[in-house]
Amino acid sequence: MTSTTGPFGTVLTAMATAFHDDGSLDLEATKRIARHLIDHGHDGLVVSGTTGESPTTTIEEDGQIFQAVREAVGPDVKLIAGIGTNDTKTTLELAAQAEANGADGLLLVTPYYSKPGQAGLLHHFKQVADATTAPIMLYDIPGRTGTKVGPDVYREMATWGRIVAVKDAAGDPTQAVFLTELGYTVYSGDDPLTLGFLAYGAVGVVSVVGHAAGNEIRAMIQAFRSGDVATAQKINAQLQPAFAAIMGAPNYGATTAKAALQLLGVLENRNVRSPLVPLDDDEYAALRTGLTAAGLL
């Protein structure tokens, strides 16, 4: 690969959090997930992101999860702590905890549900940037949050020097050109669009499909970076059934990631916390079919 790597690595996954049957944290199984990812192509992990079911975990639990993952992967793997909520006070508490635990970076998602305007976004982001020292990756995913970060907000934040990267899941890879010109490092936040994001200047991906295809995603990025676009396209085409199975299902995200880990033998169950429900038997069978078609099982 070329030297164009981001501050947090190249292949990251927003890792799932494992739960026991009673809904409590399963830290040993969570460690297995982390080690599986590092053994399969990853150089960084996002802990307690949306796929980690952060809306249903407490501040204390997020701290326990982070500490368990750090213990599992050691000091050299980049760990980014998810701190984003729709409440600035809670986000600041999570940020302080993450920094105290030695997080290499902070993932800050746009506040969800309350749909603040662009001035509200700036106010929220500025409070977090002013209160922390760890580098921040902004997460723009309007399909989940209801609000898209506008260009003027990005321009203003670029002057702060505190938000260094963007996980872009807004659906338009061409925006990477604008963001990189402002000085941000861009990561694809949408697995099916990763190759397109690379073409427009992104350095890597924060994945969900990486739970099952970390090595393949890394090989695709390496091929593209080395100028072997045909091989990158071939790998991307091979992964399409997995993208569809994991990201295209109506009940997707933590549910499909955990089911994939169960199919791979990493997890013994696919427990999720309410209001999510585990994949049913038909959904599980469809996931197996997609992963098999992609050569991952």
Q: 26: closest CA among 55, 54, 61?
A: 61
Q: Which residue has the tokens 């199975």?
A: 245
The single residue of 31, 78, 167, 258 carrying the catalytic annotation is 167
The single residue of 31, 78, 112, 139 carrying the catalytic annotation is 139
- DSSP β-ladder status, 136-140 and 105-109: parallel
DSSP 169: -
| DSSP helix/strand/coil, 11 | strand
The secondary structure of 48-69, three-state, reads CCCCCCHHHCCHHHHHHHHHHH
Peptide bond between residue 116 and the one before it cis (omega within 30 degrees of 0)? no
Q: 126: closest CA among 98, 96, 92?
A: 92
End-to-end CA distance of the chain: 27
Bin 279: left if φ > 0, else alpha if -120 < ψ < 50, else beta.
beta
- Rounded Cα distance between 201 and 165, Å, is 12
- CB hemisphere CA count around 297 (13 angstroms): 20
Contact 194, 169 (CB under 8 A): no
167 carries an active-site annotation:
yes
Q: 43: closest CA among 99, 5, 16, 82?
A: 5
Q: 165: closest CA among 181, 187, 134?
A: 187
- Rounded Cα distance between 139 and 173, Å, is 14
139 carries an active-site annotation:
yes
Query: Mind telling me the catalytic residues?
Result: 139, 167
